[in-house]
Amino acid sequence: MWWEELLWGLWHGIRAWVVLIAHVFNAWDKHTVYDAARASNWFDFGFLLGAGSPFLGIFGASKSSAAAPRRRRTK
């Protein structure tokens, strides 16, 4: 089903950052960053959402906290 592939992609995308860091230090060789056996459009979309979610959260929070309050224009 399409939603199962989406959820698997989301899970693999979220854990991709942890696995990537572990691969840098030669740990967890049995886990891959991307599961090529599950590759499909929905899996890829979920993977991108999962892998991009840490960046979206960081950039969204920094924009809103750093933005100056808006003032209304009066005529």
pTM beyond 0.75: the answer is: no
User: pLDDT (tens digit, 9 = 90+) per residue, 27-53?
Assistant: 877 778 888 888 899 999 999 998 887
Helix (H, G, I), strand (E, B) or coil at 31: coil
The mean per-residue pLDDT over the stretch 17-34 comes to 82
Tokens 């969204």 correspond to: 60
Buried-exposed string 38-66: b where 16+ CB fall within 10 A, e elsewhere: beeebbbbbbeebbeeeeeeeeeeeeeee
The mean per-residue pLDDT over the stretch 44-73 comes to 69
- CA pair distance 54, 14, nearest whole angstrom: 8
Domain extents in the chain:
2-57
**What does pLDDT average to over the chain?**
79
- CA pair distance 23, 59, nearest whole angstrom: 26
